[in-house]
Amino acid sequence: MIKKILDLGQQPLANSYLAKNKLKSKEKKFRLQVGFHTKNYLVSIMKTVSKEKMFNENYPYKSSESITMKKSFENLSKKIKNYYKPNFIIEIGSNDGAFIRNFNKKTVIGVEPCKNLAKLTKNQKYKIYSEYWNQKLAKKITKNKKAHLIYSANTLSHIKNLNEIFAAINIALSKDGVLILEDPSLLQCVKNVAYDQFYCEHIYVFSTIALKNILLKFDLEIFNIENITTHGGSNRYFIKKKISKKFKINKNVKKEISKELKFGLDKISTYQKFEKDVIKSKKKLLNIFKKLLNKKYKIIGYGATAKSCTVLNYCGIDKRSIMYFYDTTSYKINKYLPGSKILIKKYRKLDKKKIDVAFLGAWNFKEEIFKKEKNFINKGGKFITHVPIPKII
Ligand code: JHZ
């Protein structure tokens, strides 16, 4: 049974940035509610948007926009080459190629349904299937040879039909092959009151206990877990077929599960507290804005993230509070954030003469951003963050 644990109100599609001539048109909205499955402990949004509406030829998010993500993919690629030495890799959700570009073109295939992103990597002569991952595609790609390694980062959480995904993975993965999945951790999300991890694209925020239950049905098992810092705290799961004896189950798996159970990710009461924390977080954030606006501070947004869409629309923050956002992504520039309709400008280094405070839409890249904006900080410039608790820093 799925129980509602959180209601984030009417929300537009997070990555549907508006062109100026669309500002007056009515936006598509949906009710963003989060549910908890009391049997398998899966946390998911309750109403979903069709994949074609979200992942198409106009997809604006590029993984390569942050140094942190590029480094993370680079480091993992080194480890994969040294340790698993795969000679056939498939990446599900290859985005703009931030991961696959670390591999020899002959050894890697990308699957990326967003045609604009697929084109970027195809142009670099990588083999990309611009389709949704499913059993038919898995059969086509691995007709002659099964994959030694399948990697998927920040993609599985976006796909509603997990049964199809894992059935396709089972087809494509060799007997002793390794599946590496990487997605935001539910434990970190709940602990840090990072409710903006929920938006139309994030259908699931996984816990290890829920993922383990799902994998059981497909004779797949987690043999190692790494807690990583990307995207506000994620888990990197190393998974194998049950029949494979090549890898021993690492102690980390049991440890992570104990951690999650101790925190109560299997209990509805934990999510009831989470809901209260989210409401408190909204009040606190609105108070901060009120205080700063009363002092006539000039506030902008930093990083027009998909996550920002949830926060701004849930809290009712719009251009009366945030003058504009800065973002480095070319697709987003000169467009407007969905719902809140705040303009996104081409990124420029923060200038204390023009800006007093920046709201961290990309709070998950705080360190990278603070390094870049040293000058602004040294001159007394401030940031607002809402994770883990709304505050001015
Ligand atoms: P970032 C997207 O979410 C959507 P978002 C998606 N659903 C998902 O799961 C995650 O990514 C992985 C900009 N930026 O990564 C670039 C600067 O302008 O937090 C991006 O637009 N300056 C697929 O959108 C945004 O911020 C900078 O210095 O919540 C970051 O978006 C940096 C570091 C980033 O993901």
Ligand 1 centroid to Cα of residue 362, in Å, is 6
C-alpha R_g of the chain: 21
Percent of the chain at pLDDT exceeding 90? 99
State whether the beta carbon of 307 lies less than 6 angstroms from ligand 1.
yes
Backbone angles phi, psi at 348, to 5 degrees: -135, 150
Q: What pLDDT does residue 197 have?
A: 98
- pLDDT (tens digit, 9 = 90+) per residue, 308-323? 999 999 999 999 999 9
Choose the residue to mutate in 16, 66, 195, 203 for probing ligand 1, maximizing ligand atoms within 8 Å of C-beta. Answer: 66
DSSP, collapsed to helix, strand or coil, labels residue 96 as coil
Of residues 28, 26, 23, 31, the one with CA closest to residue 4:
31
Look up the pTM and report it. Answer: 0.97
For 125, 252, 307, the CA distances from 222, given in Å and listed in that order, are 33, 10, 28
Q: What is the mean pLDDT of residues 183-200?
A: 98
Q: What CA–CA distance (Å, rounded) separates 30 from 12?
A: 6
Angle at 335 between CA 11 and CA 356, to 5 degrees: 90
pLDDT reported for residue 206: 98
Q: How far apart are CA 204 and CA 41, in angstroms?
A: 11
Q: 306 CA to middle of ligand 1, Å?
A: 7
Question: Does ligand 1 have an atom closer than 6 angstroms to the CB of 328?
Answer: yes
| Percent of the chain predicted with pLDDT > 70 | 100
Over range 73-86, report the average pLDDT.
97
Half-sphere exposure of 16 (CA within 13 A, CB side): 21
153 within ligand 1 shell (Cβ under 6 A): no
Query: How confident is the model over 21-41, as a mean pLDDT?
Result: 96
- Distance between Cα 378 and ligand 1 center (Å): 25
Q: How far is the CA of 175 from the centre of ligand 1 (A)?
A: 35
Average pLDDT over residues 326-337: 97
Residue ranges of the alpha helices (H) in the chain?
51-54, 67-83, 115-122, 135-141, 162-172, 186-191, 208-216, 251-263, 268-294, 306-315, 366-372, 374-378
Q: Give me the pLDDT at residue 266, please.
A: 98
Find the 243 Cα to ligand 1 centroid distance in Å. 38
Measure the CA–CA gap between 264 and 31, rounded to whole angstroms: 26
Question: Which residue's alpha carbon is nearest to atom 11 within ligand 1?
Answer: 61
Q: In 3D, which of 24, 135, 152, 65 has the Cα closest to residue 332?
A: 65
Contact 354, 345 (CB under 8 A): no
DSSP string, 237-258: EEEEETT--SSPPPHHHHHHHH
**91 C-beta closer than 6 A to ligand 1:** no
SS3 state at 144 = coil
How close is the Cα of 303 to the center of ligand 1, in Å?
7
* Mean predicted confidence (pLDDT) in 66-75: 96
**Phi, psi dihedrals of residue 90, rounded to the nearest 5°:** -120, 135
Give the pLDDT mean for 37-53. 97
- Farthest-apart Cα atoms in the chain, separation: 67
The response to whether residue 305 sits with its C-beta less than 6 Å from ligand 1 reads yes
Question: Which residues, other chains included, contact 57 with Cβ-Cβ below 8 Å and sequence gap of 6+?
Answer: 114, 115, 116
pLDDT score of 87: 95
Tell me if 210 CB under 6 Å of ligand 1: no
- Burial environment of residue 354 by CB neighbours within 10 A (0 to 12, 13 to 18, 19 or more): exposed
Most ligand 1 atoms within 8 A of CB, residue of 48, 54, 65, 313 to mutate: 65
How far apart, in whole angstroms, are the C-alpha atoms of residue 270 and residue 334?
A: 41
Please answer whether residues 37 and 306 qualify as being in contact, where contact means their C-beta atoms are separated by less than 8 angstroms: no
| Distance in Å, CA 63 to ligand 1 centroid | 7
**What angle is formed at CA 41 by the lines to CA 40 and CA 43, rounded to 5 degrees?**
125
- pLDDT-based confidence at residue 242 (cuts at 50, 70, 90): very high
Cα angle vertex 286, ends 187, 283, to 5°?
Answer: 55
Q: DSSP for 151-180?
A: EEES-GGG-S-HHHHHHHHHHHEEEEEEEE
The Cα-based distances of 61 to 15, 29, 47, 133, 350 in angstroms read: 8, 20, 22, 19, 22
